[in-house]
């Protein structure tokens, strides 16, 4: 009886303790940068990573200019004396480990692998920032817009996501789910995807081809998107290159990618 | 020797057809050959003519010229350890190609890619020849080659690491190991003119190399212009290695293994060895390219992995033998 009462008390007390929001927050990963910028209170976020300002990768490159940038190095982050550091699971592990050893509170956020993960990560970061109310508002808005986009149905044209080095992604990925939500069927099928050879792409003849936009500077890896086979599909079918920044990270900006792809699908019909 | 040529030619033919019939899209053999020859609108024609045909043609062209260049270098330097990949010629060609791509030169003017690779190869061959002199002393040759390879490799990695493009740094492995995946007819046309010039230059060196086995003075007395011979080998090797590397990365060991294996069939004469080595090189690269597709389909295993697995033990064996001969 007493134990239960104590448990109940702790359950009430624990969130209250977490609500003591950190005053100095540093984010060191492109995706957590954007979510922190969306959710943090004015003055709460001290610094974002350098990639956040790169318009090719970041959907909030403009907003990121208002924050000092860091390069994910333990030293520079330590000097900012943060109460909380937000990092991605795969962000410079050595730096994150060192910050933990130095006693800094670090929240590692796994990447979003699905649309459900987007709301989950927003909630997680919102709680850590002590901004659950803002997070809930952003999530409610995201889900409302997502459900209107989802409502449209019809025939599902076949489509392929094709990137540098011949990589493609399947249904069990964020990009794959975005494609499905926009009303396409993915020729890469279920699973995570991987390398799809030009031969397989040519034989599948997808009705739509979706590629990323080329990065600055040349590379041999992106040359494949200029191969005669890809060019032929591009000429014969609908194709579009979608800005990477909208769906590289699982943020509410994925809705823009879904809208863009929905329009492509409507063009096909 | 004619028999060896005929047998090798048949082998290349069989492997070429094999190469055309292997791919991730399991196509029926008869249909795919019909689509290749007769054409048509379907995706089958596209796969055969734009993916498999250029891949097979490049394997024949690059393998053949690497075998030829290896035999020519070994004949001229009178040293069985000479080979474009091992001595840094391919590495310098790769550096030239990477510079052309990263400076944007090749996007502005497509011939800049093979030309720049050719320039890299010329520089490497010239340094090697100046270092070793006409006698091709083994130790100097190998040490010079190691130094040139190291510098070329380091500069290639540096350029790719400094590139603003996020994919560039991962391409270091392609330039060091070579691959024929996802090439198109554009690459065939890009490499072709340089390969033809290189072939023409190297085609005429056979008798000179035969004469050279008697010593420089004897060859000069027989009326061979040794400076001309040297020039032909420098430019010919640079042309074929430069063009091949520009489109497929540096593929090592073919020029080492093939002449060594086939030397017996031509009685050790360097002149006839040129042509059997060309066919042998084509057969070796075709086999390697078939093997990478069979061993790890869909993973783009690099050609250099296989050629080095076959070639490096050969190299050790040759080093061992040359050590015993000197002792």
**Residues B98-126: pLDDT tens digits?**
999 999 898 888 899 999 999 999 999 89
Question: What are the residues whose beta carbons fall under 8 Å from the beta carbon of A155, sequence distance 6 or more?
Answer: A269
Average pLDDT of span A61-79:
93
Taking CB atoms and an 8 Å cutoff, what residues of chain B touch A203? 25, 27, 43-44, 47
**Residues B173-228: pLDDT tens digits?**
999 999 999 899 999 999 999 999 999 999 889 999 999 899 888 988 998 888 88
pLDDT at A149 over 90: no
pLDDT value for A154: 75
* Structure-block tokens of residue B21: 């019939």
Mean pLDDT of chain A: 87
**CATH class as words, domain B54-326:** mainly alpha
pLDDT value for A42: 93
Average pLDDT of span A54-61:
91
Cα separation, B70 vs B78, whole angstroms: 11
pLDDT at B41 over 90: no
Chain A, nearest residue to B104 by Cα? A218
pLDDT value for A6: 45
Taking CB atoms and an 8 Å cutoff, what residues of chain A touch B300? 165, 195
Cα separation, B67 vs A40, whole angstroms: 64
Calculate how close chain B gets to A163, using CA atoms only, in Å. Answer: 11
Taking CB atoms and an 8 Å cutoff, what residues of chain A touch B50? 202, 227-229, 232
**3-state SS, residue B92:** helix
Of A199, A215, A232, Cβ closest to residue B166: A215
Angle value at C-alpha B212, between B211 and B218, nearest 5 degrees: 75
**3-state SS, residue A158:** strand
Angle value at C-alpha A36, between A33 and A38, nearest 5 degrees: 110
CB contact under 8 A, A217 and B106: no
Model confidence at A7, pLDDT cuts 50, 70, 90, reads very low
Model confidence at B134, pLDDT cuts 50, 70, 90, reads low
The complex scores an ipTM of: 0.81
Exposure string over A202-232, b if 16+ CB within 10 A, otherwise e: bbbbbbbbbbbebbebbbbbbbbbebbbbee
DSSP B23: S
Select from A207, A246, A238, A209 the least CA-distant residue to A224: A209
Of A197, A202, A217, Cβ closest to residue B102: A217
pLDDT at A220 over 70: yes
pLDDT value for B318: 81
pLDDT at A15 over 70: no
DSSP B49: I
Cβ pairs bridging A and B (under 8 Å): 88
Residue that has been written with the tokens 């006839």 in this structure: B272
Taking CB atoms and an 8 Å cutoff, what residues of chain A touch B298? 194-195, 197
Cα separation, A164 vs A213, whole angstroms: 10
CB contact under 8 A, B186 and A165: no
* Structure-block tokens of residue A73: 């190095």
Question: What are the residues whose beta carbons fall under 8 Å from the beta carbon of B316, sequence distance 6 or more?
Answer: none
Cα separation, A156 vs B207, whole angstroms: 68
Average pLDDT of span A114-134:
95
* Structure-block tokens of residue B88: 């840094």
Taking CB atoms and an 8 Å cutoff, what residues of chain A touch B246? none
Length of chain B: 327
Phi/psi of residue A184, nearest 5 degrees = -100, 165
CB contact under 8 A, B46 and A166: no
Interface residues of A toward B, Cβ cutoff 8 Å, are: 164-166, 194-195, 197-200, 202-203, 205, 215-224, 227-229, 232
Domain borders along chain B are: 54-326
Taking CB atoms and an 8 Å cutoff, what residues of chain B touch A199? 23-25, 47, 51-52
Interface check for B107 against chain A (CB to CB < 8 A): the answer is yes
Report the run of H or E that residue A170 belongs to, with start and end.
none
Model confidence at A8, pLDDT cuts 50, 70, 90, reads very low
Flag the least confident range among A10-24, A226-240, A246-260, B136-150: A10-24
Interface check for B121 against chain A (CB to CB < 8 A): the answer is no
Model confidence at A44, pLDDT cuts 50, 70, 90, reads very high
Question: What are the residues whose beta carbons fall under 8 Å from the beta carbon of B11, sequence distance 6 or more?
Answer: B279, B283
pLDDT value for A9: 43
Of the two residues B136 and B310, the one the predictor is more confident about is B310
**Residues B224-281: pLDDT tens digits?**
888 889 889 989 999 999 999 999 999 999 999 999 999 989 998 999 999 999 999 9
Model confidence at A153, pLDDT cuts 50, 70, 90, reads low
Calculate how close chain A gets to B44, using CA atoms only, in Å. Answer: 7
Cα separation, B309 vs B117, whole angstroms: 26
CB contact under 8 A, B171 and A221: yes
Ordered domains of chain A (ranges, CATH)? 21-145 (3.40.50.1980), 158-268 (3.40.50.1980)
pLDDT at A12 over 70: no
CB contact under 8 A, B164 and A216: yes
Q: How far apart are the first and last CA of chain A?
A: 65
Of the two residues A151 and B222, the one the predictor is more confident about is B222
Q: Which residues make beta-bridge pairs with A107?
A: A86
Average pLDDT of span A7-33:
69
pLDDT value for A258: 92
């Amino acid at each position: 009886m007493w134990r239960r009462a104590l448990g109940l008390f702790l359950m009430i007390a624990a969130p209250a303790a977490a609500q003591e929001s950190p005053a100095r927050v540093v984010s060191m990963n492109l995706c957590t940068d954007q979510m922190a910028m969306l959710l943090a209170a004015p003055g709460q976020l001290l610094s974002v990573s350098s990639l956040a300002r790169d318009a090719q990768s970041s959907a909030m490159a403009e907003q990121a200019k208002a924050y000092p940038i860091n390069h994910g190095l333990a030293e520079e982050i330590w000097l900012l004396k943060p109460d909380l550091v937000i990092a991605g699971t795969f962000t410079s592990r050595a730096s994150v480990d060192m910050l933990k050893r130095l006693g800094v509170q670090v929240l590692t956020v796994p990447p979003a692998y699905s649309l459900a993960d987007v709301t989950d990560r927003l909630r997680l970061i919102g709680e850590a920032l002590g901004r659950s109310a803002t997070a809930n508002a952003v999530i409610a808005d995201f889900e409302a817009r997502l459900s209107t986009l989802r409502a449209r149905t019809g025939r599902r044209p076949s489509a392929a996501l094709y990137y540098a080095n011949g990589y493609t992604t399947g249904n069990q990925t964020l990009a794959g789910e975005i494609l499905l939500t926009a009303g396409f069927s993915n020729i890469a099928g279920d699973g995570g995807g991987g390398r799809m050879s030009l031969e397989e792409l040519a034989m599948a003849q997808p009705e739509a081809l979706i590629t990323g936009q080329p990065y600055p500077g040349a590379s041999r890896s992106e040359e494949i998107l200029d191969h005669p086979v890809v060019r032929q599909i591009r000429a014969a079918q609908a194709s579009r290159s979608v800005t990477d920044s909208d769906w590289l990270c699982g943020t509410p900006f994925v809705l823009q990618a879904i809208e863009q792809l929905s329009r492509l699908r409507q063009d096909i019909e | 020797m004619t028999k060896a040529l005929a047998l090798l030619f048949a082998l290349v033919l069989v492997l070429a057809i094999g190469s055309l019939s292997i791919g991730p899209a399991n196509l029926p053999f008869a249909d795919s050959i019909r689509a290749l020859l007769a054409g048509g609108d379907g995706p089958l024609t596209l796969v055969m003519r734009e993916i498999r045909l250029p891949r097979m043609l490049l394997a024949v062209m690059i393998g053949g010229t690497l075998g030829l260049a290896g035999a020519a270098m070994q004949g001229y330097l009178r040293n069985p350890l000479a080979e474009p990949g091992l001595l840094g010629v391919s590495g310098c060609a790769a550096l030239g190609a990477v510079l052309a791509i990263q400076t944007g030169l090749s996007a502005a003017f497509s011939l800049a890619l093979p030309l720049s690779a050719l320039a890299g190869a010329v520089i490497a061959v010239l340094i090697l020849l100046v270092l070793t002199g006409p006698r091709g002393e083994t130790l100097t040759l190998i040490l010079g080659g190691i130094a040139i390879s190291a510098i070329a490799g380091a500069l290639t990695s540096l350029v790719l690491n400094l590139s603003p493009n996020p994919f560039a740094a991962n391409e270091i492995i392609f330039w060091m190991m070579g691959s024929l995946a996802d090439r198109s007819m554009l690459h065939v046309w890009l490499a072709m003119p340089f390969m033809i010039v290189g072939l023409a230059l190297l085609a005429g060196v056979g008798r000179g190399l035969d004469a050279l086995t008697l010593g420089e003075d004897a060859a000069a007395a027989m009326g061979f212009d040794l400076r001309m011979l040297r020039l032909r080998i420098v430019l010919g090797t640079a042309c074929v290695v430069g063009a091949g590397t520009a489109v497929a990365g540096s593929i090592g060991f073919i020029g080492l293994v093939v002449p060594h294996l086939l030397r017996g069939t031509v009685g050790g004469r360097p002149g006839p060895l040129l042509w059997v080595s060309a066919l042998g090189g084509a057969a070796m690269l075709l086999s390697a390219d078939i093997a990478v597709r069979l061993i790890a389909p869909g993973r783009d295993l690099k050609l250099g992995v296989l050629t080095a697995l076959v070639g490096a033990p050969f190299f050790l064996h040759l080093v061992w033998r040359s050590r015993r001969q000197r002792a």
